[in-house]
Amino acid sequence: MNKEIKVLELGQRDYKETWDFQEELFQKVLNIKIQNRRESSDVPTENHLIFVEHPHVYTLGKSGDLSNLLLDEQQLAEKGATFYKINRGGDITYHGPGQVVGYPILDLENFFTDIHKYLRFLEEMVILTLAEYGLKAERSEGETGVWLDVGTPFARKICAMGVRASRWVTMHGFAFNVNADLGYFDNIVPCGIKDKSVTSLNVELGKAEIPVEEVKAKLKKHFAQLFEAKLTES
């Protein structure tokens, strides 16, 4: 088992370019696993954790409903946003400046073979990070992601999640609103959920901006602890 995870910092990068990069890493890990089974070999697979910030973009998961996008092509262009149908789970979501987006490309056979546990660990990483800022975040039953004030009329999502997995190899991941422009969420029905709102860490703390690198450092700390992994910067 290889419990080392290479952290890749991509800065701000186009969504499609990053998706293609994910696919390359994902396929590389899959190919090693297929070859290992075919040749009864034991070549170790790599694990990666990509951090990136995207320009304004809306993405729709494979089970999503296109009617949850409330803009047409011209309106998208006017807002400087793009749109993609993609191969992750979940419905529609928004990515943009001020979000910390993380894409773990993990071979779960290096850790545990349980997709539900994997998603709960991603949620727990964010919950623990928010606790360091004095916020009590929770899971909402039947709704993947991280929420505040669950079970009240003020329930709001602060981190969305959607993943894909094949042969226990993961891709896609989480989008954590840190300094996000929440106005862009008005153009969709976020994650297909009509009666709940979204929020951002800076809004919850009443600050203009939260240092993104500080947030990422906390996320990486909790990620490493939960997965009992060693994170190395690439």
Which of 29, 108, 191, 198 does the annotation list as catalytic?
191
Contacts of 207 (CB under 8 A, 6+ apart): none
Helices (H) and strands (E) in the chain, counts: 5, 12
- 191 a catalytic residue: yes
Residue 135: how many other CB atoms lie within 10 Å? 16
SS3 47: strand
Strand 143-148 to strand 137-140: parallel, antiparallel, or no bridges (unpaired)?
antiparallel
Report residue 47: phi and psi, to 5°. -125, 140
The position carrying tokens 């170790």 is 44
Burial (Cβ within 10 Å: 0-12, 13-18, ≥19) of residue 39: exposed
Catalytically active residues, by annotation: 191
